[in-house]
Amino acid sequence: MTEPASLIEGAAPFELGEGEKGVLLVHGFTGSPQSMRLWGESLAEAGFSVKCPLLPGHGTRWEDMQETKWRDWTGAAQEALDDLSARCAMTFIAGLSMGGAIACYLAAENQDAVAGISTVGAAVLNEDPRAFLLPVLKHLLPSLPGVSNDIAEPGMAEVAYDRTPLRAAAELLSLQRATRERLSRIGVPALLFHSRDDHVVPASNMSYLAKNLGSNDVRLRWLERSYHVATLDYDRHLIFEESAAFFNELASESR
């Protein structure tokens, strides 16, 4: 029997703050809550209750993702959302990359519980021409080199796997498909960030979201100095400040 892998340093889930407004943070594919920690700390300082779960298969070793399904990831995020909603008067969701797709998925599935969403480099499309080979490749190759640490700022690093497990990558495609099918059901305001120089998720993802979300309040914000993991990059403070202001604006309008 294989021993369970220990948690990578810095990859643990976290909860911060005690405000009446809650924000669920969702990390990306092969990543960890570490990529969301600075954002969470900033939101907590701004008066929000923040929760960031560690998605199943993440934060240990890439092999642990091989048996996880996309519903395991959305299920863990749903459980965290339920917890926040039970103790907060108003709840928002924010996600990075795959976490942005999960934020959209949960907003569609919990229309009465989510007051707004914010995404950073949301991955709802897969335009890699090799993607159609995944159903076959996942049986032939266990993994490929990873896509972590796409960060422009020197000295900043992401706690993430250095390999991309192909079975899990096929599950990501299924999650993206399920999310796209639900976008028209999302009526809450959305603040979307995307780096112009993102080497992992093409900017066409933000344009696609803007066109297909059911909300009549969709705000787009281009990031000029960052790469994909913008929550750890040069533009992070812009993301932190503008998302907090956005959530506070929505909270004040609901009074």
Is position 97 annotated as part of the catalytic site?
yes
Q: Is the distance from CB of 42 to CB of 142 less than 8 angstroms?
A: no
Helix or strand holding residue 170 (H, E): helix 166-182
How many Å apart are CA 22 and CA 38, to the nearest integer?
Answer: 16
How many Å apart are CA 172 and CA 112, to the nearest integer?
Answer: 26
From 32, 58, 228, 243, active-site residue: 228
**Residues comprising the chain, all counted:** 255
From 64, 198, 233, 235, active-site residue: 198
Whole-number Cα distances in Å, 228 to 55, 185, 188:
19, 27, 25
From 35, 49, 97, 215, active-site residue: 97
Is position 243 annotated as part of the catalytic site?
no
Q: Is 130 helix (H, G, I), strand (E, B) or coil?
A: coil
Q: Is 116 helix (H, G, I), strand (E, B) or coil?
A: strand
Is position 194 annotated as part of the catalytic site?
no
Q: Furthest-apart CA pair in the chain: how many Å? A: 56
Active site residues: 97, 198, 228
